[in-house]
Structure 1
Amino acid sequence: MTATHIELAGVGKVFIRDLQQTVALKQVDLDIRQGEFVAVVGPSGCGKSTLLRLVTGLTPATSGVVRVAGEEVSGPRSDTGIVFQRATLVDWRDILGNVLLQIQLRGLDVKAYRARAESLLDAVGLGQFMDRFPFELSGGMQQRAAIARGLIHQPTILLMDEPFGALDALTREQMRLDLETLWTRDRMTVFFITHSIDEAVLLADRVVVMSPRPGTIDRIFEVDLPRPRGLGARVDPRFADLVDKITRIFLERGVFDDHRPSLVA
């Protein structure tokens, strides 16, 4: 059996502001295996992004413990790549320079990583745009560059917080295909936060369904879809069945309101 790579045991998070407490997460237990792709889906405000920040070490847990590769997380780790919803590229560097900026900030040899940066940009369809600046690229192209930047230092874990949330539907679908290709090639452990049930099912080995705040794990579903999951995966009955099961959970929890007025008089 593949070893556990990320472990959350009894994890809780409470935020305090102006003497008011907000319980964001409560008693979260989750093991993610080495090389596994796990997607987390849940309503807004349920603590999905907080959960990711706990794994990154950017935010400490209030209770419980977070471990990566058997070590308790006490701060940011060098073996982790992060991609946020916005690309956050710097305006004064071209795309290749943006990808290599992380190498420079880590104090590594930029020249030694140039070939890898070019290879990653080729893999995400930006091989012909390495010398362009962010303002010359679309939002989807900028986000592709952000993914390349997140992978440039060969992390064993890739943490992604709604990375496709600001993209149009067609670009989002292409990014999904590109990400699966990169993951299949490199097999890093991926922890992926999304609001999209379809996206979670199409990408993940397992889908974690979270409850409304305070966030807890409601259900975990294994995704029984063959890879690669190209455009045809949407017509697989197993895809529709799993999307329906997750949707029904949110209906039962009151996240969705399906009591629409009839169009028939």
Structure 2
Amino acid sequence: MAEAASLDLDLSGRPTSGAGAPAGVVLREVSKAFGEIVALERVDLTIADGEFVAVVGPSGCGKSTLLRLISRLAAPTTGSITVFDDASPLPPRGMSIVFQNHVLLAWRTVLDNVLFPADMVGERRDHYRDKAMELLETVGLAEFAGRYPHELSGGMRQRAAIARALLLKPNLLLMDEPFGALDALTREQMRLDLEALWLKNRMTVLFITHSIDEAVLLADRVIVMTPRPGRIERIMPVGIRRPRGLAARRDPEFLEKSGEITEIFLSRGVLHRED
């Protein structure tokens, strides 16, 4: 049976997560259908302000649809979504999105790509130059600030995309399989880099992934989705001590939680045991 996220109220009447932190994102009875195809069905979820939540599930289970609904790039068929107390249909203020494809502008340097959000909101670029260079330093790209995207590796381009997403200090960072196109070693380094950035900035993160390991190693809670129609099968807290370096793969809780998620997917027929 699906384990629903708890929803409480603090003294101001604002919704909170089960841990008592003010809620960043609240979904109530959210469903999404495309014609006769139901992508998501009756999703209830509360994400705390500053929480890192990963969503893992098979292809077609509605993970990316969930992200699009929260970003308001699409509207739910039924149910309600609030983002930092805002229920309007417009994209939430203070939101950034990182996709699997880095979407860097080929004619701009790495630094100019990172500064692009300032251009989009009409801010003076020189006010953000130091912040952009600080972010590039954090993701190991300061010496490549003057290079163009075609001169970078796939992992470097994705690091630049993450730096760009953080330029305006978003309250909410939505990440749709950002490491999906990367090789295993680069993915592992990106996982370490992303956690370091999150620990420094403490924004609310919703991270979509197919990788069980990635979800458990990054998240405060892992949302396990069923095959279509997508429902929440389990909400699994992860208490591995941070920062979760390479040694986290040997942590007993990592082995326990990744094993539990694997068993869920085996029971659902998403994975199959070897003969």
TM-score if structure 1 supplies the norm length? 0.95
CA distance in 2, matches of 1:86, 1:101: 17
Give, in angstroms, the shift of residue 6 of structure 1. Answer: 0.3
Structure 2 counterpart of 1:72:
87
Letter in 1 for 2:22: A
Amino acid of the residue matched to residue 81 of structure 1? Answer: S
Q: Match of 2:30, as an amino acid?
A: V
The number of equivalent residue pairs is 256
Structure 2 residue 98 is matched with structure 1 residue 83: yes
For the 8 Å contact 2:23–2:46, the answer to whether it is kept is yes
1:141-220 to 2 correspondence within 5 Å?
A: 141-220=156-235
- Match runs of 1:1-265 below 5 Å: 1-16=20-35, 21-258=36-273, 260-261=274-275
Alpha-carbon distance in structure 1 between the residues aligned to 2:224 and 2:131: 35
Equivalent pairs: percent with the same residue? 57
Give runs of ≥4 in structure 1 deviating > 6 Å: none
TM-score by length of 2: 0.92
> Deviation of residue 242 (structure 1)?
0.6
Cα root mean square deviation, aligned? 0.8
Deviation at 1:73, TM superposition (A): 4.1
* Displacement of 1:55: 0.6
Spell out, residue by residue over 1:200-245, the C-alpha distance to the aligned partner (whole angstroms, 9 max, x if none): 0000000000000010000000102000000000011111011000
Paired residue type of 2:34 = F
Q: Is the 8 A contact 1:38 1:208 kept in 2?
A: yes
2: CA distance, partners of 1:91 / 1:228:
34
Mark the runs of 5 or more structure 1 residues left unpaired by the alignment.
none
Q: Which amino acid aligns with 2:28?
A: A
Query: CA offset at residue 105 of structure 1?
Result: 1.3
String of CA shifts for 1:126-179, please: whole Å, max 9, x gaps. 010000000000000000000011111110011000000000011100000000
Q: Is the 8 A contact 1:13 1:26 kept in 2?
A: yes
Change (3 A) 1:73 1:240: farther
Deviation track 1:81-105 (CA, whole Å, cap 9, x = no partner) reads: 1100010111100000111112101
Q: Report the residue type matching 2:27 in the other structure.
A: L
| Unaligned runs of at least 5 residues, structure 2 | 1-19
Give the whole-Å Cα distance in 2 for the aligned partners of 1:151 and 1:55.
18
Contact 2:83 2:92 in 1 (8 A): no
